[in-house]
């Protein structure tokens, strides 16, 4: 049988990696797919030919729409990234009756509902394993491997760049900007690295995971997003002294009141496996009612780990070429007509524990006034630590860990605490999750 012809859009880090993996492992991949898979055409404005030894076998142009409109091609792999023209290219490929493989989490998180509806109408597949957690097959695992379960929550380290930065800062005391520059050089970071450090990239991925976990439409605008830029070294140190590590987590949880979707720095007990996921590695913890907690771990960014997921999608699509569109695995795990309109909770309704750092004047009665405000708000304190003042100083740091509380109550209590004369400046707060199975 003739190999399946594929058009590739983008020859950057992941595009180059995809060509290299597909050519290096061509024989094994064909044995798995039942047919050869060949990238015959590609579109790229610029690329590093030296990093893609087999690039000479591909007809490369700079017009992505020409590739999408090429009638010889059955599958389009979109590795350009960003919202536009990726959206227009993917919709045009679908319109042309082609299957699509994409690593573009921004595109799926924001435009996935529209794209999947178009694909459904045309009877084609849009596969996006590489959009979440790089090389970890988390989409396949949740969509197929955990199909028996009511998924209760998902918590993951889903941005490799951010985890690399936090790990290097903690372990080697390196500067934020210096580590970010290295992540960019290694091809981990987004074209705009603020997407990594401000949590936007993780929020794209969390939005996708939440939809697949709970069978809800993609709702990126309702995902709470907070990055790692305001984490201070002293909080990393104090968290450690309490037995916690600070990780940048994406959390999706189904509660009686609705669904939580949130991305933020989080204190995680150091004994948890998730707390020990370092560098560019990602990990996703999924709690199903039948299976219990399951943990998926692997490289979250980089050329070949991401290419691994892209090529796995290509194999899946090739296997599905001859199947009835109605009987394929649904894009969002649940049949499109079965998606639920569950309420997405705003952050003031989310329940979580807190780490608080207060700068206070070291005088009698301060602790009692703070404890009084927390007590009146129904907030229990789990641990308190007082840090000694600097030589000759009168202000000390007070570290508190609370038990779980409704976030709105915590914010009101913090506002009251900040009004106390003996409290200086803003209260630093970081959410705490115990992630107990």
At its nearest, how many Å lie between ligand HSE and the CB of residue 195? 7
At its nearest, how many Å lie between ligand HSE and the CB of residue 283? 12
Residue (68 or 110) nearer to ligand HSE, CB: 110
Structure token pair of residue 409: 């109550």
Is residue 17 at the binding interface for ligand HSE, with CB under 6 A as the rule?
no
Residue (263 or 400) nearer to ligand HSE, CB: 263
At its nearest, how many Å lie between ligand HSE and the CB of residue 286? 18
At its nearest, how many Å lie between ligand HSE and the CB of residue 368? 45
Residues 6 or more apart whose Cβ sits within 8 Å of residue 202: 158, 159, 162, 225, 248, 250, 263
Q: Which of 20, 70, 104, 161 binds ligand HSE (CB under 6 A)?
A: 161
Is residue 201 at the binding interface for ligand HSE, with CB under 6 A as the rule?
yes
- Which of 81-89, 185-193, 252-260, 401-409 is the region at the interface with ligand HSE (rule: CB under 6 A)? 185-193
Q: Tell whether the torsion through CA atoms of 33, 149, 327 and 95 is positive or negative.
A: negative
Residue (135 or 288) nearer to ligand HSE, CB: 135
d(CA 68, CA 422): 65
At its nearest, how many Å lie between ligand HSE and the CB of residue 201? 5
At its nearest, how many Å lie between ligand HSE and the CB of residue 126? 17
Residue (157 or 379) nearer to ligand HSE, CB: 157
Is residue 333 at the binding interface for ligand HSE, with CB under 6 A as the rule?
no
Structure token pair of residue 350: 């989310």
Residues 140-159 touching ligand HSE, rule: CB under 6 A, are 159
Q: Which of 160, 250, 265, 288 binds ligand HSE (CB under 6 A)?
A: 160
d(CA 236, CA 246): 6
Ordered DSSP codes for 363-396: -TTHHHHHHHHHHHTTPPEEEEEEEPPPTT--EE
Exposed e or buried b per residue across 292-320, where buried means at least 16 C-beta atoms within 10 angstroms of its C-beta: eebebbbbbbbbbbbbbbbbbbbbbbbeb
Structure token pair of residue 333: 């795990």
Q: Which of 300, 312, 314, 366 binds ligand HSE (CB under 6 A)?
A: 300
Which CA distances in Å does 300 have to 49, 136, 297, 308?
A: 25, 7, 9, 11
Q: At what angle do helices 303-320 and 13-24 cross, to 10 degrees?
A: 60
Binding characters for ligand HSE, 205-244, by CB under 6 A (x = yes): ----------------------------------------
Is residue 129 at the binding interface for ligand HSE, with CB under 6 A as the rule?
no
* Residues with catalytic roles: 205
For Cα atoms 243, 165, 267, give the angle at the middle one, nearest 5 degrees: 25
Q: At what angle do helices 160-172 and 176-185 cross, to 10 degrees?
A: 130
Residues that bind ligand HSE (CB under 6 A): 134, 159-161, 188-190, 196, 201, 300-301
């Amino acid at each position: 049988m003739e190999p399946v012809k594929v058009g590739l859009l983008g020859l950057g880090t992941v595009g180059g990696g995809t060509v290299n993996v597909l050519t290096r492992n061509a024989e094994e991949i064909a044995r798995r797919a039942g047919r050869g898979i060949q990238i015959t055409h590609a579109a790229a404005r610029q690329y590093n030919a030296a990093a893609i030894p087999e690039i000479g076998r591909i007809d490369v142009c700079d017009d992505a729409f020409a590739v999408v409109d090429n009638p010889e091609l059955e599958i389009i792999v979109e590795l350009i990234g960003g919202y536009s023209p990726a959206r227009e290219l993917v919709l045009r490929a679908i319109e042309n009756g082609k299957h699509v493989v994409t690593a573009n989490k921004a595109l799926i998180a924001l435009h996935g509902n529209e794209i999947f509806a178009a694909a459904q109408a045309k009877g084609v597949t849009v596969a996006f394993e590489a959009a979440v957690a790089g090389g970890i097959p988390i989409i396949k695992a949740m969509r197929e491997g955990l199909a028996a379960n009511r998924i209760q929550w998902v918590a993951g380290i889903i941005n490799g760049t951010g985890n690399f930065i936090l790990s290097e800062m903690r372990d080697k005391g390196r500067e934020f900007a210096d580590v970010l520059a290295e992540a960019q050089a290694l091809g981990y970071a987004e074209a705009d690295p603020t997407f990594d450090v401000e949590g936007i990239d993780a929020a794209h991925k969390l939005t996708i995971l939440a939809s697949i976990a709970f069978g809800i439409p993609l709702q990126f605008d309702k995902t709470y997003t907070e990055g790692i830029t305001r984490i201070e070294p002293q909080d990393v140190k104090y968290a450690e002294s309490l037995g916690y590590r600070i990780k940048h987590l994406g959390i999706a949880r189904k509660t009686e009141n609705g669904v939580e979707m949130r991305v933020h720095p989080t204190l995680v007990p150091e004994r948890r496996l998730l707390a020990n996921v370092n560098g560019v590695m990602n990990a996703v913890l999924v709690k199903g009612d039948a299976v219990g907690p399951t943990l998926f771990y692997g490289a979250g960014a980089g050329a070949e780990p991401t290419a691994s997921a892209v090529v796995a999608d290509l194999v899946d699509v090739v296997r599905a070429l001859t199947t009835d569109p109605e009987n394929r695995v649904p894009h969002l795990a649940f049949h499109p007509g079965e998606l639920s309109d569950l309420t997405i909770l705003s952050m003031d309704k989310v329940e979580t524990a807190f780490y608080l750092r207060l700068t206070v004047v070291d005088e009698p009665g301060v602790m009692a006034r703070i404890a009084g405000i927390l007590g009146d708000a129904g907030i229990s304190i789990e641990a308190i630590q007082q840090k000694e003042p600097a030589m000759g100083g009168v202000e000390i740091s007070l570290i508190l860990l609370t038990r779980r509380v409704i976030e709105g109550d915590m914010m009101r209590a913090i506002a009251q605490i900040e009004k106390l004369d003996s409290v200086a400046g803003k209260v630093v707060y970081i959410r705490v999750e115990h992630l107990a199975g």
